[in-house]
Structure 1
Amino acid sequence: MATEAALPAAKGWSESVRPYLERAPLAALLLGISSGFPYAMIGATLTTRLSQDGFEKSSITAFSLAFLVYNLKPLWAWVIDAVRLPGIGRLGQRVSWIVLTAALVMLAVGNLALVDPQHVGQSPVGQFMIWFGLGREGEFAALFEMAVGAVLVGFAGATFDVVIDAYRIEILKPEQLGVGSGMSQYGWRIGSAGAGALALFMAARQGWEAGYLACALFALPAVIAAFWVGEPERHREAVKREGRPGIVAGIVGPFTEFFSRHGAWLVLLFILLHKIGDTLANLTLRLLLNDLGFSNDEIAIYDVGIGFWAYLIGIFIGGIIYARLGMKRSVLISLILMAISNFSFALLAAAGHSNWGLAGAIGFENIASGIGGVVVVAYFSALCDLRFTAAHYALISSAASIVGRFLTGTTAGAMMEQFGNVNFYLFTVVAALPGIILFWLMMRSGLVDSSVGTAGTAREGDAQA
C-alpha cells in the first residue's frame, strides 16, 4: 500500500492543469453544483422572499436555525454507508442514494415553493398541519409552515451533501483529491450563486413559486454525474474486501476504525485547531472595515468583487499545488499562507483607510483561503476509510467547522474590543501557529502518512476511477 504522498507528482505545470479535464474531476464539478443549491434556497434567497412578503426582521433571522441541520448530519450519515435501499439499490450503494436524496431535495424545495405566506395549507406540509389541527390563519401559522419547509430543505440538503461528499471522494483516485476538491468547490459556488440568481430572476417575472420550482432542477447534475461515472469501484472493492457494515458497525465502526490508527488523537486535535485563527479573522473582517471607515461601495468592490475572483484563483492554484507538490507540503504551505493573510489584516488595521491596502489584503486572503480550502479538504477526504466514507467525512467536516465557529463566534467580538484592531489581528496570527506547528510535527514523525485512510491510498488491483 502506498500513500498519496508517495505517488508521483506531475512533471510540469501544463501536466498539472490536464487533470481538471478528466472524467472524475468533471463529475466532481457537477456534484458541487447540486450540493450548493439547497444552501442558497434557505439562505439569502429565503431571506429576500420573507422580506418582500412583509415579515419582521426578527422573524426572518430566526430562519437561520434551519442551517443547524447541516451541523447535525453526522447523526445519520452512517445510514448512507450501512443501509442498502430496496429496489433501486441494484443501481449501487452510492448511485441509489444519490438518486433518492436528489428526489428528496427536489420534493422539499417544491414544497417550499408552494408555501403561501398569506394562506396556510397551500403546500403538502401545510395540508398536514391542517389535518393535525395546527393550521390556523395568521402570521405565526404561516411562519411555522415555512419554517418546517425550510428545515425539510435543510435536512434533505444535508443528507444530499453526505452522499455527494462520499461519492466525490470515492470516484477520485488519491492523486486526484486536490483537483477534485477544487472542482467541487467551483461547482458549489456555481450552484449556490446560480440558484440564488435564477430564483430572483424568476420571482420578479412569474413569482416565487416558479422561482423555487425552477431551482429544484439544480439537483439533477449530481444524478447525471452518478449515471455518467457509475458506482465507485474503489468503494465496491473495499466492501468486497472488508464486507459492508451492518447497522451497529455502521454507527460504531467509523469511530473504532479512525481511533485505531496511530496518532489518531493528534490528527483529531489538528482538525479542531487548524482553522481557529482564520475563522477569527474572517468573522470580524466587516467590523474592521467599518471601524476603518470604508463605505458600502468600497466594501462591495474590494471585499465582494476582488475577493470573489481571488478565491476562484486560489481554488485553481490549490489544485495545481496539490498535484505538483503532494499532500503534505501543499497543506503546510496553505496553513502558512492563511496565517500570513491574517498578518495582512493587521497591517491594514495599522495603515487605516487605504483602498490599495484593502485590495491587497482581501486579494491575498482569498487566494490563501482558496488554496487552503482545496488542499485541506483533500487531506480530510484522504483520512476517510472507504467502508465508512459518508460517516467519516461528515464527522471530520463537522468537527472542523462546529468547534471553530463556536469558540470564535462567542469570543471574537469581545477580544477585538479588548485588544484593539491591530493587536487582535496579530493575535489571530498567533492562534494559527499551533495548527501549523502540529502539522509540521506530524509530517516529521510520519504521522500524516500513517493516519491516511484507504480513501487516500492506492492499492494494487484497485479499479481506476
Structure 2
Amino acid sequence: MRDDFSIHNRNGYERETGPNRFNLISELNLIASIRSWQESLRAFLTPQVVTMLFLGIAAGLPLLLIFSSLSLWLREAGVDRSAVTYFSWAALGYSFKFVWAPLLDILPLPILHRLLGRRRSWLFLSQLMIITSIILMAMVDPATHSLTLMAIAAVLLGFSAATQDVVIDAYRIESADTRLQALMSASYIAGYRIGMLLAGAGALMLASYFGSEVGEYDYRAWRQSYLIMASLMLIGVVTTLLSPEPEVNKKIHDDRKRDYLGLMLTFSLSISGFIGCFYLTGDWAVQARLQMLSWVNNGPLAAIGVELVRLVLATIVAVIIAKVLILMGWVQKNIVHRSYVEPVQDFFKRYGLSMALLLLSLIGLYRISDIVLGVIANIFYQDMGFTKPEIATVVKTFGLFMTIVGGFLGGILALRFGVMRILFLGAVLSALTNLLFMLLAQMGNDIWMLYIVISADNLSGGMASAAFIAFLSSLTNISFTAVQYAIFSSLMTLLPKILGGYSGTMVESMGYEQFFLLTALMGIPVLLLVFLAARRFRIDG
C-alpha cells in the first residue's frame, strides 16, 4: 500500500500511514491481539455478533418471498416467464432506500422512540410492516386475481424490508468498532441465509406438502405457506425487543415536530409523484419499446433504454415536487441539507473526487454477476426439470450451508489477510462460478452437477459478501451511518436489479448458455476496479 495516502476510518477521523506511525502503536497492538485463529473464532460468540445472526434471519426472510419463491408461485399459476422476472422490480425499494434513510436518522417515532430508542423503534415498525405485507400477498391468488394487487403487496414488502435493512445496517455499524465488523458481517450473512432458507426451501417444501405442483396448482397451499412465513418474522420482532439500543456519541437533533412532519410529508408526496409518473408513462413505454426495437433490433436493449428514460423522468418529477414544497416552506432547507446533502459532501470530502468515484463504481458493479443471474435462477432450475423438493434440498438447504461456510471463511480470512484481498478473490470466484451454470444448462437434469454448481457458487458468494459488507461498513462516517450505508447498499443493487428484471427476456432471446456467459463477463470490470481501489485504499483493522 502507498505510504502517502491518508486513510479515513468510519468515524471520519484521518490518520497518516506515512513515516509518522508511532501514534498507531496501541491500535496495532489491539489488532495484533485478535489475529490468532483462536481469538478470531472466539469473537463469534460476542453478544453483538450473536445479535446480528438473529437480525440477519429477519432480514433474509422477505427477500425470497419477492424473488424465487414468488417466481415459482407465479409460474405454477400460469404467469409468463418474462412477466415473472419483472416482479423482481418489486425489490427495487432496496435500491432506493437511501431516499428515506435520512428520515430514519432524524425522525423520532411517537411513543416507540421513547420506549425503544431510535434504531429499535424503526426496526420494530418495519418488521410489523413486513408481516402485514406478507399477509397481503397471501390473500392474492395470481391465477384469478389481478397481478396488480400482487405487485402492490410485493412493492410494500420490498419497501418495508428495505427499511428494516437500513436500520439493521446502522445498528450493526453503531454496535461495535471496526475490528468486529467483518465477523458481524459474517454472522449477519449466516442469519440472512438462514432466513432465505426458511423463505426459500421452507416455502417451497410447504407449498409442495400442502399440495401445489406444476400442472396441479393449488392457491390454498401457497397461501398457507406465506402465512407461515409471516409468523416466522416474529424471530426478528423478539430479537429487536430483547436487544440493547447502541450507545453512540451522536448529536441529538431537537427540531420542532412541525419540521419532522413537513419532511415526512415532502418525502411522501415526492414518492407519490415518482410512482405516479411511472404509472402514467406505462402506455407510452410500450409504444416506445416497439419504436426503439425497430431502430436497434434488440429487444432487451430497447426495453432497458426505455425503462431508464422512465426512471430519469420519474426522478425529475420527484425532485421538482420536493423543491416546490421546500420553497413553500413545508420543510426547512437546513433540515434537507443536513439529511441529504451533508452525508454526500462528507464522503467526497474524506476521499476526494477521484477516489470517491472509484469506490462508488466498485460498489455499483461488485454484485452485478450474482444478482442478474439470481433473478432467473429458480426458473432455470425448474426449466431443467428439477422438482420443488430438489430445488429446496440442493439449492436452498445445501446451498445455505455452503454460503454460511463461505461467509464465516470470508470473515476470518478478511480479518487475517485484509478485506481488499478477499474482496478481489470473491470477485474472481463469483465470475468463474457463473460459467458452471453453462455446463449445467448443457447437461440438463443432473442432480450431482447441480450440487457442484451450488457448492461453488454459494461458497464464493458467501466469501465475497462477508468481505463486501465489511468494505462498505468501513466507508461510513458514524455521524451519517444510516444514510451513507443506505446509499452504498442501494447503489450496490440498483443497476443489477434493473438488468435482472429483463433476465427472462434475455433468456428468451439468447438462451440460458449465452446468458450465463454474459453474466460471467460482467465480472471482468469488477476485477479492475478492485485492483485499482486496493492500491489506494486500506481498511483499518
Contact 1:347-1:422 within 8 A present in 2 as well: no
Query: Gaps spanning 5+ residues in structure 2: where?
Result: 1-6, 11-26, 212-219, 256-333
Residue 147 of structure 1 and its aligned partner are, at CA, apart by 3.7
Question: Does residue 92 of the first structure (1) align with residue 117 of the second (2)?
Answer: yes
Describe the shift of the 1:311–1:83 C-alpha distance in structure 2 as closer, same or farther (beyond 3 A). same
Percentage of pairs with the same residue: 29
Task: Select 2:157's aligned residue among 137, 147, 153.
Answer: 153
What TM-score do you get using the length of structure 1 for normalisation?
0.73
Residue 104 of structure 1 and its aligned partner are, at CA, apart by 2.3
**Distance (Å, rounded) in 2 between the aligned partners of 1:200 and 1:359:** 18
- Which residue does 2:338 correspond to in 1? 249
Question: Does residue 174 of the first structure (1) align with residue 165 of the second (2)?
Answer: no
Contact 2:206-2:221 within 8 A present in 1 as well: no
Residue 209 of structure 1 and its aligned partner are, at CA, apart by 5.9
- Which residue does 2:13 correspond to in 1? none
Task: Select 1:271's aligned residue among 346, 363, 377.
Answer: 363
**Distance (Å, rounded) in 2 between the aligned partners of 1:194 and 1:361:** 21
Secondary structure at 1:388 match in 2: helix
**Distance (Å, rounded) in 2 between the aligned partners of 1:379 and 1:413:** 33
Secondary structure at 1:75 match in 2: coil
Task: Select 1:204's aligned residue among 200, 210, 218.
Answer: 210
Secondary structure at 1:74 match in 2: coil
**Distance (Å, rounded) in 2 between the aligned partners of 1:98 and 1:251:** 21
Question: Does residue 215 of the first structure (1) align with residue 229 of the second (2)?
Answer: yes
Contact 2:440-2:446 within 8 A present in 1 as well: yes
Residue 393 of structure 1 and its aligned partner are, at CA, apart by 2.0
Question: Does residue 373 of the first structure (1) align with residue 398 of the second (2)?
Answer: no
- Which residue does 1:382 correspond to in 2? 474
**Distance (Å, rounded) in 2 between the aligned partners of 1:16 and 1:346:** 37
**Distance (Å, rounded) in 2 between the aligned partners of 1:423 and 1:109:** 32
**Distance (Å, rounded) in 1 between the aligned partners of 2:498 and 2:466:** 23
What TM-score do you get using the length of structure 2 for normalisation?
0.64
Instruction: Map 1:276-287; keep pairs closer than 5 Å.
Output: 276=368
- Which residue does 2:523 correspond to in 1? 432
Describe the shift of the 1:388–1:355 C-alpha distance in structure 2 as closer, same or farther (beyond 3 A). same
What letter corresponds to residue 210 of structure 2 in structure 1? A
What letter corresponds to residue 215 of structure 1 in structure 2? M
Residue range with higher mean Cα deviation, 171-180 or 67-76? 67-76
Secondary structure at 2:478 match in 1: coil
Describe the shift of the 1:285–1:198 C-alpha distance in structure 2 as closer, same or farther (beyond 3 A). closer
Contact 1:199-1:214 within 8 A present in 2 as well: no
**Distance (Å, rounded) in 1 between the aligned partners of 2:441 and 2:70:** 35
Residue 70 of structure 1 and its aligned partner are, at CA, apart by 3.0
After superposition, give the CA deviation of every residue in 1:267-321 in whole Å (9 maximum; x if it has no partner): 112212334455577679899999xx97637995876675443323211211211
What letter corresponds to residue 196 of structure 2 in structure 1? S
Secondary structure at 1:84 match in 2: coil
Report the count of equivalent residues. 421
Question: Does residue 395 of the first structure (1) align with residue 487 of the second (2)?
Answer: yes
Question: Does residue 194 of the first structure (1) align with residue 198 of the second (2)?
Answer: yes
- Which residue does 1:129 correspond to in 2? none
Question: Does residue 30 of the first structure (1) align with residue 54 of the second (2)?
Answer: yes
- Which residue does 1:237 correspond to in 2? 249
**Distance (Å, rounded) in 2 between the aligned partners of 1:144 and 1:434:** 37
Describe the shift of the 1:307–1:75 C-alpha distance in structure 2 as closer, same or farther (beyond 3 A). same
After superposition, give the CA deviation of every residue in 1:167-220 in whole Å (9 maximum; x if it has no partner): 122223212212211221222222233245269649939976665444333333
Residue 20 of structure 1 and its aligned partner are, at CA, apart by 1.7
Contact 2:403-2:458 within 8 A present in 1 as well: yes
Task: Select 2:127's aligned residue among 94, 102, 107.
Answer: 102
Describe the shift of the 1:96–1:139 C-alpha distance in structure 2 as closer, same or farther (beyond 3 A). same
Residue 102 of structure 1 and its aligned partner are, at CA, apart by 1.9
**Distance (Å, rounded) in 1 between the aligned partners of 2:456 and 2:49:** 26
**Distance (Å, rounded) in 1 between the aligned partners of 2:375 and 2:203:** 28
Over the aligned positions, Cα root-mean-square deviation in angstroms equals 4.6
